[in-house]
Amino acid sequence: MSRALFKEKIGKGITRPPGNSEIYGDVGFRFFSIACAWSIILLILFILWMIGKQAIPAMEKYGFGFLTGTTWDVNKQQFAVLPEVWGTLYSSILALIWGGILGVTIAIFLTQDFIHAKIASVFRLTVELLAAIPSVVYGLWGIYVLIPLLRPVAHWLHEHFGWFPFFSTELSGPGMAPAALVLAVMILPTVAAISVDAFRQIPAKVKEATYGMGTTRAEAIFKVLLPTASSGLLAALVLGFGRALGETMALAMLIGNSNQISLSWFSPANTLASLMASSFPEAGGVEVQALMYAALVLLLITFLVNLGGLYIQQLTMRKFEGSK
Query: Under rule CB under 8 A, which residues in 138-157 are in contact with other proteins?
Result: 138-141, 143-145
Maximal C-alpha separation, the chain? 98
Residue 57 found at the interface with other proteins (CB under 8 A): no
- Buried b / exposed e over 105-125, threshold 16 CB at 10 Å, is ebbbbbbeeeeeeeebeeebe
Asked if residues 293 and 62 have their Cβ atoms less than 8 Å apart, the reply is yes
- Out of 26, 73, 159, 208, point to the residue binding other proteins (CB under 8 A): 26
Residue 221 found at the interface with other proteins (CB under 8 A): yes
Residue 131 vs 263, nearer CB to other proteins: 131
Using CB under 8 A as the binding criterion, the count of chain residues that bind other proteins stands at 86
- Distance in Å, CB of 133 to other proteins, minimum: 6
Q: In a 10 Å sphere around its CB, with 0-12 CB exposed, 13-18 middle and 19+ buried, how is residue 263 labelled?
A: middle
> Could you tell me which stretch among 3-11, 78-86, 136-144, 194-202 binds other proteins (CB under 8 A)?
136-144
Residue 25 found at the interface with other proteins (CB under 8 A): yes
Site for other proteins in 200-219 (CB under 8 A): 216-219
- Out of 51, 59, 89, 317, point to the residue binding other proteins (CB under 8 A): 51
Which of 84, 71, 32, 36 has the alpha carbon at shortest distance from 296?
Answer: 84
SS (H, E, C) 17-45: CCCHHHHHHHHHHHHHHHHHHHHHHHHHH
> What are phi and psi for residue 73, nearest 5 degrees?
-130, 115
Residue 60 vs 282, nearer CB to other proteins: 282
Residue 114 vs 164, nearer CB to other proteins: 114
Residue 83 vs 242, nearer CB to other proteins: 242
Residue 56 found at the interface with other proteins (CB under 8 A): no
Which residues are 78's β-sheet partners? Answer: 73
- Distance in Å, CB of 161 to other proteins, minimum: 22
> Could you tell me which stretch among 61-69, 193-201, 238-246, 261-269 binds other proteins (CB under 8 A)?
238-246
3-class secondary structure, 73: strand
Residue 39 vs 323, nearer CB to other proteins: 39
Collect all residues with Cβ–Cβ distance below 8 Å to 172 and sequence separation of at least 6. 268
> Could you tell me which stretch among 5-13, 19-27, 89-97, 225-233 binds other proteins (CB under 8 A)?
19-27
Return the number of other C-beta atoms located less than 10 Å from residue 246's C-beta: 17
Q: How far apart are CA 229 and CA 209, in angstroms?
A: 16
Residue 49 vs 164, nearer CB to other proteins: 49
Residue 171 vs 273, nearer CB to other proteins: 273
Site for other proteins in 91-110 (CB under 8 A): 101-102, 105-106, 108-109
3-class secondary structure, 227: helix
The single-letter code of the amino acid at 263 is L
- x/- site string to other proteins, residues 281 to 320, per CB under 8 A? x---------xx--x--xx--xx-xxx-xx----------
